[in-house]
A and B are shown apart, each in its own frame.
Chain A
Amino acid sequence: MLMNLDWEFIVESLPLYGDAMWLTVKLAFWGILFSLIIGLLFSVILYYKVSVVSGVIVAYIELSRNTPLLVQLFFLYYGLPKIGLHMSEMTCAIVGLTFLGGSYMTEAFRSGIEAVSKSQIESGLSIGLSKVQLARHVILPQALAISIPSLGANAIFLLKETSIVGAIALMDLMNVAKDLIGMHYKTAESLTLLVLAYLVLILPLSLVLTWVERKVRYAEFGD
């Protein structure tokens, strides 16, 4: 099978894949980063049950988790301009990923926060910590350690989800492969490169996350 591949074509296509990988990395980086920020912020607001804001956040989570990313992107890219809101493809993709990821990250942080025991909280209160100090020094560090596995899984999920941004005309990995297949009929070569490109991106991330998980587990838990 390897012998039948058109190696010349593969070598020539590498720069295209390289550019697309860079685009995927940029999209995933910003999408994951903003999702984490939103998740942290929203989970703390939910934890303290800030009245109206909490309701809005719950509604957002339901909307975000129960609609496909493709639909969300279409809405941002084709829908919003109708009411005069134009965004570049890149901005749309990052906003879309953040809209999707924010809710998943919120839920991940929230489960971590809820897992911090009541006695830890009382212990923090008993030395006079304020609500904000309690969150910063006692609840969040422990919640973060508990949340790391699901935060990591969400990060990988978001990176994989970037594969549909071709729908709004971005030349990401998936789109490059589709183009090459369409133009040159080199299906086997294009798809092999596609799979390899994603593996090269995701495997290291996955390994790093496993390492981080082990680190925080040992640092935080066990009597």
Chain B
Amino acid sequence: MTDSKEILLEVQQLQKSFGDRIVLNGIDLQVGKGEVIVILGPSGCGKSTFLRCLNGLESVQGGVIQYRGQNLAEGNVDWPEVRQHIGMVFQNYDLFPHMTVIDNILLGPLQVQKRDKNEALQQAEQLLDRVGLLDRKDAYPRQLSGGQKQRIAIVRALCMNPDIILFDEVTASLDPEMVREVLDVILGLANQGMTMIIVTHEMGFAKSVGDRIVFIDQGKICEIATAQQFFTAPATERAQHFLDIFQY
């Protein structure tokens, strides 16, 4: 997969620790344009931390994150610039509670990217329509369900026209009946060729959306495989053990 396509992001020997505790211990990963990478692993394995390192929410202690000709693991990165291209969606949606849906979405495009208001508004409305929430554009976040809030948060990230979107356990706080509406949106993006790195515990979803599965355990990548391979015949014992826990 990555051979034929342009490499968008390349991580080499990434090191991250909190004090003495090593959280990421030499992660290597190449992300091709249009690729959907799903990161799996037991709780506390460092998968969320890995995502957070990719858009500067965590500092790193070593290694290289190569993106658009610059190394994001170095100290002098212009993160507000980089974050326009590497979007992120969080577990707890984190819409701004004092703004309406449409203001939430337009904050980045208008304030950060200084785009034309009408043009940005048009795109925001198109995106809202695509996730079925155009009629809620003037609502406040508190008036929305969890699933709706998360779909808005995805639109907010999309409206920046990023190269890559990072999804950090975006369905983990949702009621079960709302998980699907959010996953459908992400699957739709995958089909349109959006480059995404997804941390999730939804195995069925990982299987259907992921081009490649990256299995992390104890801060290291144990296994990288196609979704097909990983779920039918994982190469490592640890991955097998992990999957067994989810086979109920």
Binding site for B on A (CB under 8 A): 119-120, 122-130, 133, 137-138, 141-142, 145, 219-223
Contact = CB atoms under 8 A, between A and B. Distances in A.
B94 to A, nearest CB: 4
Given A122-B90, A127-B156, A127-B157, A221 B142 contact: yes
Nearest to B113: A128
A137 to B, nearest CB: 6
Contacts of A124: 96
A110 B107 CA distance: 24
Interface in B54-82: 55-57, 79-81
B241 interface: no
A159 to B, nearest CB: 28
A120 B153 CA distance: 12
Interface in B126-174: 140, 142, 156-157, 160
Contact of B97 (A126, A127, A137, A142): A142
B83 A133 contact: no
Interface of B: 55-57, 79-81, 83-84, 87-88, 90, 92, 94-98, 107-108, 111-113, 140, 142, 156-157, 160
Contacts of B112: 127-130, 133
A126 B88 contact: yes
A74 to B, nearest CB: 43
6 contacts: A122-B90, A126-B57, A127-B107, A133-B111, A145-B98, A220-B97
A128 B98 contact: no
Contact of A119 (B87, B90, B98, B107): B90
A48 to B, nearest CB: 15
Nearest to B82: A128
The 9 closest A-B pairs by CB, nearest first: A127-B108, A123-B94, A128-B112, A126-B88, A128-B84, A128-B83, A128-B80, A141-B98, A119-B94
A116 to B, nearest CB: 10
B98 A125 contact: no
A129 B113 CA distance: 9
Contacts, number: 68
Contact of B108 (A120, A128, A219, A223): A128
Contacts of A130: 80, 112
Contacts of A141: 98
Nearest to A123: B94
A125 B88 CA distance: 10
A127 B83 contact: yes
A146 to B, nearest CB: 11
Contacts of A220: 97-98
A221 B96 CA distance: 10
B106 to A, nearest CB: 10
A62 B108 CA distance: 39
Given A125-B57, A137-B107, A223 B142 contact: yes
Nearest to B57: A122
Given A133-B111, A137-B107, A221-B142, A125 B83 contact: yes
Contacts of A119: 90, 92, 94
B142 A129 contact: no
Nearest to B95: A123
Contacts of B94: 119-120, 122-123
A120 B140 CA distance: 15
A222 B143 CA distance: 9
Contacts of B57: 122, 125-126
Contacts of A219: 98, 140
Contacts of A133: 111-112
B81 A128 contact: yes
Nearest to B145: A223
A125 B79 contact: yes
Given A122-B94, A125-B79, 4 more contacts: A128-B112, A129-B108, A137-B107, A223-B142
B105 to A, nearest CB: 9
A138 B96 contact: yes
Residue from B56, B108, B157 whose CB has the most chain A CB atoms within 10 Å: B108
Interface centre among B80, B84, B112 (most CB of A within 10 A): B80
